[in-house]
Amino acid sequence: MKKFFIVAVLFFIISNNSFAQEVQVVQEEINLAEQSQPVPTVVDKSVEKAAEKVVEKMTIPQDSSLQAQVIADIPTLKKITLPQAIDYALKNNLNIRSTRMDIEKGKNDIKTAGRFQNPYVNLFMNGGKAAMDNPDNVGLIQPFEIGKRGPRKRLAKSNLELTKGNVALAEFYLRLDVRQAYVDLVAAKSILKILEGQKQLLERLVYVAQKKYEVGAAPEMDVIQTKMTLNLLVTQVNTARTQVDVARYNFNKVLDSMDFDTAEDYLPDQKDFIFLLTPKPQDRLPDFEKVANIAAAKRIDLKNAQQDIDVARKNLVVVARQRIPDIEIGGGMIAVPSSLATSRQNTNGYYIISNITNIPLFYQYTPEIKNAKIQVDQKELKYNSLRHAALLDLNSTYEEFLTAQTNINYYNDALLTEANQFLGMAKRSYEVGKTSINDLIFIQQSYKSIMMGYTNSLATYYGSWVDFLREVNDEEIKLDEK
């Protein structure tokens, strides 16, 4: 199995430089075969006709119309880097813009909570015989809440702080979502590039096999086998192209746009990880205890959960204060007109009134107070549960990132290094004609598998870093360089 991966990587390394030399060697063999007079091969006529039918059916699928249709459906795209994409999303994402509006609503809620009760006018007039010597009055009455306005304002302020925390968490998650969507798109484009390169390689291999068959230097089965491999690869290319489109749509969905594409067309190698805001695989994470302390201090969701407890406690105070009665204080003018006075003289005066309202005599708000206490207990349990889950999730993402680092370093340091040592032997073997077309196709398939595995490992490395940041809540965490 180890040799299988080594041969695959070897083929990847030499595919751009040595394949032309290999084709030249094959072409020399074809020329020599054309100059010679090959011995006719006796083939059963029925087998020959069957092979011809197979070859006719195995024409290479033409996907140019599909590609043209896809390109026509895509608007002109602007290349954008990851930092630019994050900045654009924070400014233009509709959900985050809507979420930020909650802050202004919270500020208005503070003003609402601090409101004073509006006064009301009291008017009393007499009529008929009963009105004799009974004064008419008009006045103003002002209600006052006792012990309620202050707690209500403090609750509104606490809710505002919770809203600000929720907005900060939403912005943080949006930045990470942009990172992930960006990496997913670059990874999909990388896979497509690998498959398209393999498609071009197989098309050339079909041509070489056909020429060798025509001059009798190779059996017809070589042509059939290479076309079969090419036909299968074309379907994979079409699928990969669709996956690129889907990843691009998802990337623009996060940005709330239709205009952007990633600046990178392939996942950067070990020297260029900084372009995707990711540390190098050689950098070392701090020990888990240190990371856990950073997460405990930085995690926005934990801070929001603590703030949610504060909101519940302040709400309990507001509910309990409903038991305090309110008062009304008022006053006004009174008068008895001369027509209704036995003394036939106008009589004027004033009055002062006070009332105690909302006396908790029959209903004492006991159910509401109990529910408010239960809510406090629920928030505390939720906070403790979140702390426990956060620690486990952090541990999981920490281990996943370390594993992703190990895998990438194995690809870069061990597998590719050993492949370079085996490169010369494989190249010389093919040049002297000791490697058959079956072996070449095997190498091609192995190369495709190993390169797609390497690309997926790169995508996993970038993605695991995003997941790690999601748990530690610190995008500026520093790693120790080797």
CATH of residue 373's domain is 1.20.1600.10
Span 33-53, average pLDDT: 40
Residue of 39 and 280 predicted with greater confidence: 280
Structure tokens at 457: 């490992």
Note whether 264 and 82 are within 8 A (CB). no
Confidence of residue 435 (pLDDT cuts 50, 70, 90): low
Does residue 188 belong to any structural domain of this protein?
Answer: yes
d(CA 331, CA 9): 96
Domain membership of residue 241 as a residue range: 2-32+60-92+145-325+360-472
Structure tokens at 66: 């599909």
d(CA 149, CA 317): 11
Residue of 313 and 422 predicted with greater confidence: 313
Structure tokens at 74: 């895509």
The pLDDT, as a whole number, for residue 128 is 78
Confidence check: pLDDT of 332 > 60 = yes
Span 163-174, average pLDDT: 96
Chain segment 204-225, per-residue pLDDT in tens: 878 888 887 888 877 888 788 8
CB-CB neighbours of 78 under 10 Å: 11
Confidence check: pLDDT of 10 > 50 = no
Does residue 44 belong to any structural domain of this protein?
Answer: no
d(CA 16, CA 20): 8
Q: What is the mean pLDDT of the chain?
A: 80
> Of 342, 324, 288, nearest to 145 (Cα)?
324
The pLDDT, as a whole number, for residue 376 is 97
Confidence check: pLDDT of 279 > 70 = yes
Distance of CA 419 to the CA centre of its chain: 36
Confidence of residue 13 (pLDDT cuts 50, 70, 90): very low
Minimum mean pLDDT among 74-78, 165-169, 389-393: which range? Answer: 74-78
Does residue 222 belong to any structural domain of this protein?
Answer: yes
Span 338-367, average pLDDT: 87
List, in sequence order, every residue forming a beta bridge with 140; answer none if it has no partner.
121, 331
Does residue 175 belong to any structural domain of this protein?
Answer: yes
The pLDDT, as a whole number, for residue 30 is 42
Chain segment 61-116, per-residue pLDDT in tens: 444 444 444 444 555 889 999 999 999 999 999 999 999 999 999 999 999 999 99
* Beta-sheet pairing, 120-124 with 136-144: antiparallel
Does residue 43 belong to any structural domain of this protein?
Answer: no
Does residue 425 belong to any structural domain of this protein?
Answer: yes
d(CA 382, CA 376): 10
Does residue 53 belong to any structural domain of this protein?
Answer: no
Domain count, the chain: 1
* Percent of the chain scoring above 90 in pLDDT: 50
Confidence of residue 304 (pLDDT cuts 50, 70, 90): very high
Does residue 365 belong to any structural domain of this protein?
Answer: yes
Task: Determine if residue 352 is left, alpha or beta; phi over 0 gives left, psi from -120 to 50 gives alpha, anything else beta.
Answer: beta
Span 406-411, average pLDDT: 85
With 0-12 / 13-18 / 19 or more C-beta atoms within 10 angstroms meaning exposed / middle / buried, residue 91 is exposed
The pLDDT, as a whole number, for residue 125 is 85
